[in-house]
Amino acid sequence: MFPRKTRVLFDKWYGCLKATKKMKKLMFICTFTILALFASASTASTKKISPLTQKVEVTAKKVNSTVVWDVTVTCGNGYTFTSCCYSSYSSAQNAGWALYFAICE
Amino acid sequence: MKFTLLFIFVLTTTNIIASDSTYFSCKYRYTFQKDSTKSEIKSNDIMILLINKMSSIYYSELKQLGTSNFQKKQLDEKTQNAPLKIGPENAQEGASFFMSSDPEIININYINGEISVTNKFLEDSYGYKESIEVPKWDIATDTITILNQLCQRATTTYKGRNYEVWFALSIPISKGPWLLNGLPGLILKANDAKNQFVFECIELNTSNDITNEFRPYSNVRFVSKSMYKEKKRLFSQNLVEFLKSNGISVKNSSGDQIVRPNKPYNPIDLSK
């Protein structure tokens, strides 16, 4: 049923156990089924919890003794751009997200 | 005698106030095509039409929820810099604030026959006013049932597009989604001939709970319709150019001004 190399390896793993051929086959199938299940589960969860790399960061600065805000946007692919200048923190953040959707998406 | 008169007066006044504040509402699923050349790509929104005796308001529910949740997020120091969840399924997280199809709020005053269209382009609110324009309808005899309401078919050409609509015979309100109006019953379904804009009523009720979330735009600057349409076009088509026209730069990491190609633009209103 299985190639010789696999059988040898398998016999080494379970050699210490006094099991019949049928039992060994069953254990082998069970082991690989469990491994496959874990592999698919971890792939699915990676997709779900993949960290969002996009960022919208607002910083304040002084231009001619007036405080203004600029916003730096980082797209998911790492592309970064900065927009300047806004009269408030919230307007910079609004514009940042709007730019994110306009440029990155 | 005096008491009886006072009682009648109070009763009448209360009744008038109650009937004026009673809203009839209709929730529409709005499917639209941003790019007129790509019929396979459709966008969706949920629109609310609120009607009372004197006026009606038509607005995007997703936009209202998105704006409200985004503002809450901005006020909270812990979450204000957290990434927005993206995708239509996360519209209520605030992403719809930017993704929303149609952030226009249409207010119709039936007393003076005036339509007021307002919109918010980032921090600035703009709007225009015009008189109610009633389309010339051709009413057919075909009928269908929508939400248990028997509806009759009508067609028209309005604001540059041909429409087919279905109005409810048992709801004698001559209103509908967007600017469609003037039929003997409430319009429950409407679509243009190319199916680029489709409105389908998905919920009918007379509750005014639905108005709780609604916030009109403040400090609206009313301009001519052509100026408004130009601002809307630039904002939708090329945000970078829109910001540039307001003196705001968008530069890449090398310090060069970003130049973006125009995005497709397919406005529902093709009139001038």
Q: Specify the length of chain B in residues.
A: 272
Q: pLDDT at residue B119 above 50?
A: yes
**How large is the average pLDDT for residues B112-140?**
94
| Contact list, A52 vs chain B (CB under 8 Å) | 83
**How large is the average pLDDT for residues B107-132?**
94
Asked if A93 and B80 come within 8 Å (Cβ–Cβ), the reply is: yes
Nearest to A99 among B81, B99, B239 (CB): B239
**Range scoring the smallest mean pLDDT among A1-15, A69-83, B186-200, B258-272:** A1-15
Is B124 in contact with B111 (CB distance < 8 Å)? no
Of B52, B45, B53, B271, the C-alpha closest to B179 is B271
Q: What is the pTM of this model?
A: 0.74
Residue given tokens 């639905």 in the structure block: B210
Minimal Cα–Cα distance from B154 to chain A, Å? 38
Average pLDDT, chain B: 84
Q: To 5 degrees, how large is the angle CA B28–CA B263–CA B218? A: 55
Q: Which domains does chain B have, with CATH numbers?
A: 10-245 (2.50.20)
CA-CA distance, A60 to A74, in Å (whole number)? 18
**Residue B22, number of CB atoms within 10 A of its CB:** 13
Cα nearest neighbour of B247 on chain A: A85
Assembly ipTM: 0.71
What is the pLDDT tens value at each position of chain A, 105 positions in all?
Answer: 556 666 666 566 555 455 567 776 777 676 766 666 555 444 443 333 334 567 788 888 888 888 999 999 998 888 999 999 998 888 898 888 889 888 887
Asked if A54 and B83 come within 8 Å (Cβ–Cβ), the reply is: yes
Residue given tokens 């409105």 in the structure block: B199
B54 or B214: which leads in pLDDT: B54
**Residue B48, number of CB atoms within 10 A of its CB:** 21
Reduced to 3 states, what is the DSSP secondary structure of residue A46? helix
Question: Which pLDDT belongs to residue B136?
Answer: 97
CA-CA distance, B100 to B69, in Å (whole number)? 14
Burial class (CB in 10 A: 0-12, 13-18, 19+), A49: exposed
| Contact list, B263 vs chain A (CB under 8 Å) | 102
Token pair of B260 as six digits: 């973006």
pLDDT tens digit sequence for B129-175: 999 999 999 999 999 999 999 999 999 999 999 999 999 999 999 99
Minimal Cα–Cα distance from A41 to chain B, Å? 23
| Contact list, A105 vs chain B (CB under 8 Å) | 86
